[in-house]
Amino acid sequence: MKVAIFAGDGIGTEVMAEAVRVLESLRLPGLTLFEGDVGAIAYQRHGHPLPAETLDMARAADAILFGAVGDPSCDNLDRHLRPEQAVLGLRSELGLFANLRPANVFPGLEDASALKPEVARAIDLLIVRELNGDVYFGDKGMRETPGGEREGWDMMSYSESEVRRIAHTAFRAAQGRKGRLCSVDKANVLETSQLWRDVVCEVAGEYPDVELSHMYVDNAAMQLVRNPGQFDVVVTGNLFGDILSDQASMCVGSIGLLASASLGERMTAHGTFGLYEPIHGSAPDIAGQGIANPMATILSAAMMLRHSFGREEDAARIEAAVAKAVADGVLGADLGGTASTKEIGDAVVERL
Ligand code: NAD
Ligand code: IPM
Ligand code: MN
């Protein structure tokens, strides 16, 4: 169980320290952690946000635990040198096309949700976000129009095979849950989405036990706050999935709670090779204060044990320890409490 630890920038290092402590406290035989530089810190040290040695380390690992990247000082660099390219590069270089972002309300946290408690209580959904395509990875650029003004452009596209493989991931996920899949697109306007919808419908023929529905993304954003309990599995493209998952995080209470797994086709001895990360970023506004919520990263480590190492029991233990800490009122500022990053890490380790 070789795990590459890429903490990154800002609160990435703070939340990672707690996730590592939680992992080490399990004393799993055969677990080896090694660290690499990604993001702004890697750019400063090596001149690139995803140095060759980091990529080699990622390839040599069975799983990657990732913190967050991004720093305001890098926001005007050439795009290929920006910290965000580290996570985008890992996702594409390693073929991690399926991003699983579960969202459910911890008992006792209903009042922390931005929604009414009775609406929040019903949330138990999984966003399956495509991660290797869409407007993220198409050609892009800035150019001058014939009229002499600047114009920015980004190419949005999905190929049939890209949609088909993420659709299979989502249908299988629905089979393992409540058997409902909602595909979110913008087929009323975008050809990319029309192809998406057509292919999802074709794949549906292989999963007669899954109830498939379709929703336009604007309506999905609205339904997510009106009645999030209606969703089981949501499958959507890279851009819509990015936005809807941040929104889902506030429906359950905080972005500091949402974990994710990014999976591809490569297998490990006991599961699937993957990259695990909180859905949040480096949070420059609170970095260095020791108040970031590490739960999303700790829960990402649990997902790693489940998906890459086949250690369901250990994953469930971590999740139960986090739930217990929440129930006991160990909450950070993001959830209206006063616990520091380290105190939250301590509380989870104690409950393990
Ligand atoms: P962000 O997720 O970093 O922060 C958004 C807001 O949520 C901030 O107010 C922040 O303080 C709060 N927040 C985030 N995580 C928190 C936590 N664990 N505990 C408590 N509060 C938390 O998004 P942003 O501000 O739009 O982006 C900041 C930087 O992070 C940018 O450079 C962006 O590109 C990058 N980013 C990186 C990743 C990643 O590494 N996967 C993801 C998102 C954003
Ligand atoms: C995320 C982030 C990334 C994304 C950025 C940092 C490239 O927002 O993981 O959700 O847009 O995918
Ligand atoms: Mn995001």
What is the per-residue pLDDT across 329-341, written as a single tens digit (0 to 9) for each?
Answer: 999 999 999 999 9
* The pLDDT of residue 291: 98
Give residue 12's pLDDT: 98
Average pLDDT over residues 231-249: 98
Pick the catalytic residue from 246, 324, 342, 346. Answer: 246
pLDDT band at 228 (very low <50, low <70, confident <90, very high): very high
The whole-number pLDDT of residue 126 equals 99
Q: Which CATH number fits domain 110-252: 3.30.110.60, 3.40.718.10, 2.70.150.10, 3.30.1490.20?
A: 3.40.718.10
* pLDDT score for 93: 98
pLDDT value at residue 62: 98
CB 279 near ligand 2, within 6 Å: yes
Look at the domain 1-97+254-352 and name its fold: Isopropylmalate Dehydrogenase (3.40.718)
What average pLDDT does the segment 243-264 reach?
A: 98
> Are the beta carbons of 22 and 318 closer than 8 angstroms?
yes
Closest residue CA from atom 6 of ligand 2: 84
Residue 124 annotated to the active site: no
Give CATH 3.40.718.10 domain extents, the chain. 1-97+254-352, 110-252
Query: Of the bound ligands, which one is closest to the alpha carbon of residue 129?
Result: 2
Q: What is the pLDDT of residue 333?
A: 98
Instruction: Pick from 282, 322, 335, 338 the residue to mutate for probing ligand 1's pocket: most ligand atoms within 8 Å of its CB.
Output: 282
Range of lowest pLDDT (109-118, 197-206, 290-299): 109-118
How does pLDDT run across 29-52, given as a tens digit for each residue? 999 999 999 999 999 999 999 999
Note if 324 is an active site residue.
Answer: no
Nearest CA to ligand 2 atom 7: 84
Q: Of all protein residues, whose CA lies closest to atom 4 belonging to ligand 2?
A: 242
141-198, pLDDT tens digit by residue?
999 999 999 999 999 999 999 999 999 999 999 999 999 999 999 999 999 999 999 9
pLDDT for 320? 98
Find the range with the poorest average confidence among 86-95, 110-119, 174-183: 110-119
Q: Is 134 assigned a catalytic role?
A: no
140 is catalytic: no
User: Which residue is catalytic, options 75, 154, 198, 218?
Assistant: 218
The whole-number average pLDDT for the span 281-307 is 98
